[in-house]
Amino acid sequence: MNSTSTLAIDAGQSGIKVRHTDASGSGEWSAPGIRTDLPLLPQLARIIEQAHEGGRTAERVGLGVSGLTDDEFDAGYLLAAAAPIGARSVHLAHDSITAYLGALGDERGVVVAAGTGVVTLAVGATETARVDGWGYIMGDAGSGYWLGRAGLEAVMRAHDGRGAPTALTEVVRADFPDLEAAYIELQGDLGRVQRIASYARAVADAAAAGDAVAEQIVTDGARELAASAFAGLRRVGESGVPDPHVRGVGGLFLGEVLGREFVAAIRAEIPGAEIRLGEAHPLDGAAALADVAPTSALAAHIAVARA
């Protein structure tokens, strides 16, 4: 058993989870989600600083980060921030990498990680492919934001007479008694992405209760997620495998309708696929970044800085 003290960080838009592990045991805590419209590195450095303020030390730090771009793929910056906790190495990756490691380890296959946003990662013998994860403006098809926004649109379509009535109207009206003013408030809310994504639960619940409008939204979302999985498998040369490993991780997959429809969409194309849903262990993935072999297809996607 590895006794190296580790600080593992899963930095998502909906929330941040942190785990500290050393010889005495482990402890976890959470913090508000990162803002992908603001520089990420200072936000990540602040998480490490908070660990130091709590009296914790760690020899290595592993971070999986939503919205991480090449411009901020800088483990050296974070190594400097981690010096006060005694870090000897920092391992930084996009959260698609840590979601994959937490779900499948070093096995080949595809992992769809869906929360406020969504990103899919497929891994073959020598190649990796990221699918979607392009943010709420240009992508994230099937994500919590995507479902929430579709639910809000359906309410306004019903209000206008352009769409069928839906039980979602009463849910939204409870928050916005004047439906016609809702868009003004949402557009001015700096937390609008998370706020809109929060309606995904209401959409999922309405779908499970038989609301036809909500059920269609969730079904469409599930098919978008399945399409991302298929694209990833094709791009890494695994589409011809009769029983690929397919994982759907994150709270969205716990919804009755979305989970059912995602599995149905995968089975329709790959009947023998080995599918598991809801098994999300991103902190395990963040902690495992330091152990990824240099020969792994994932290694090129992990930034490493050592003291």
- Note whether 220 and 152 are same-domain residues: yes
> What pLDDT, on a 0 to 100 scale, did the predictor assign at position 280?
66
Q: Do 84 and 170 have their domain in common?
A: no
In a shared domain, residues 302 and 189: no
Query: In this structure, is residue 132 part of a structural domain?
Result: yes
d(CA 61, CA 287): 8
Same domain? 93 vs 108: no
Q: Do residues 21 and 86 both lie within one domain?
A: yes
Contact residues for 151 (Cβ-Cβ < 8 A; gap 6+):
168, 172, 199, 200, 202, 203, 206, 214, 217
Residue 303's pLDDT is 96
In a domain, 1, yes or no: no
For 292, the domain range is 6-102+281-306
Helix residue ranges per DSSP H, the chain: 40-53, 75-82, 95-104, 135-138, 144-160, 168-175, 182-187, 192-197, 200-208, 212-235, 256-269, 282-288
> Residues 228, 262: one domain?
yes
Helix axes 212-235, 144-160, angle to 10 degrees: 140
In this structure, what is the dihedral angle of CA atoms 140, 144, 150, 152, given to the nearest 10 degrees? -140
Per-residue pLDDT of the chain (307 residues; tens, 9 = 90+): 456 899 999 998 878 999 999 988 989 999 999 888 899 999 999 999 999 988 899 999 999 998 888 889 999 999 999 999 999 999 999 988 998 999 999 899 999 999 899 999 999 988 999 999 999 999 999 999 999 999 999 999 999 999 999 999 999 999 999 999 999 999 999 889 999 999 999 999 999 999 999 999 999 999 999 999 999 999 999 989 999 999 999 889 999 999 999 999 999 999 999 999 987 688 999 999 999 999 888 999 999 999 9
**11 within some domain:** yes
Q: Are residues 113 and 98 in the same domain?
A: no
Query: Residue 163: which CATH number?
Result: 3.30.420.40
Residues 98 and 114 in one domain: no
Distance CA 291, CA 249 (A): 22
At residue 251, the pLDDT reads 87
Is the same domain home to 112 and 259? yes
- Tell whether 132 and 225 lie within a shared domain: yes
Is the domain of 289 the same as that of 210? Answer: no
Q: What is the pLDDT of residue 282?
A: 87
Asked if 295 and 160 sit in the same domain, the reply is no
The domain total for the chain is 2
